[in-house]
């Protein structure tokens, strides 16, 4: 009887390892039937993009040219129920070597909270409102507005790293407090 239990246990472990490997591989899209002129000109047949945050399988994916953020989210197993749909645009067309963060609605550090994270709309907030984000002071808030005025609306929250004075550290501190539109739009 003891031998049967050990054999079943070993088969279960092997099965879990195999299914885990298959699950990771299934997230990679290899369809290259569409073309992207700028990517094709550089010899690319697929895009290499990373997604993190509120998706089922955060990872780096090879995905077909002309794919959208919605396609990438689908490849990553879909957005979680905690994903803030106002913080990303599924119609955004991907470019090679981009990375995307899907922000949460509720703080993952505090599982008992029922209050959503306070968010600021990058495309509509004034300087005072932007300054409510702890990572943004007066100068950074004005720089965010100036960038928006010069370049048009933000298309993804990672775009704030293009603003003078905002680097990876500031982005990491503020990424959960940003969105691209307000719920009332």
Q: What are the pLDDT digits (tens) for 88-133?
A: 999 999 999 999 999 999 987 776 767 899 999 999 999 999 999 9
Q: Which residues pair with 49 in a beta bridge?
A: 61
Indicate whether this model's pTM tops 0.75.
no
Dihedral in degrees, nearest 10, Cα atoms 114, 181, 166, 68: 100
Q: How far apart are CA 129 and CA 16, in angstroms?
A: 49
Decide: 90 and 76 in contact? Cβ < 8 Å: no
What does the alpha-carbon distance between residue 78 and residue 141 come to, in Å, rounded to a whole number? Answer: 32
Q: Given this model, what pLDDT does residue 146 score?
A: 97
112 by Cβ neighbours in 10 Å (0-12 / 13-18 / 19+) ranks as exposed
Domains of the chain: 1-117 (no CATH), 120-179 (1.10.150.280)
CB-CB neighbours of 59 under 10 Å: 15
Of 41 and 44, the structure prediction assigns the larger pLDDT to: 44
């Amino acid at each position: 009887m003891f031998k049967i239990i050990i054999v079943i246990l070993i088969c279960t472990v092997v099965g879990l390892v195999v299914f885990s490997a298959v699950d990771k591989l299934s997230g990679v899209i290899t369809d290259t039937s569409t073309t992207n002129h700028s990517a094709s000109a550089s010899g690319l047949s697929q895009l290499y993009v990373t997604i993190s945050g509120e998706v089922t399988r955060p990872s780096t994916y090879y995905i077909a040219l002309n794919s959208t953020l919605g396609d990438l989210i689908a490849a990553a197993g879909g957005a979680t129920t905690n994903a803030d749909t106002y913080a990303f645009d599924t119609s955004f067309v991907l470019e090679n070597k981009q990375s995307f963060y899907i922000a949460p609605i509720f703080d993952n550090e505090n599982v008992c909270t029922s209050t959503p994270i306070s968010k600021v709309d990058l495309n509509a907030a004034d300087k005072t409102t932007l300054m409510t984000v702890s990572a943004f002071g007066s100068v950074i808030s004005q720089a965010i507005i100036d960038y928006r005025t010069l370049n048009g609306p933000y298309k993804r929250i990672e775009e704030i790293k293009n603003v003078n004075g905002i680097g990876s550290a500031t982005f990491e501190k503020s990424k959960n407090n940003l969105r691209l539109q307000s719920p009332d739009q």
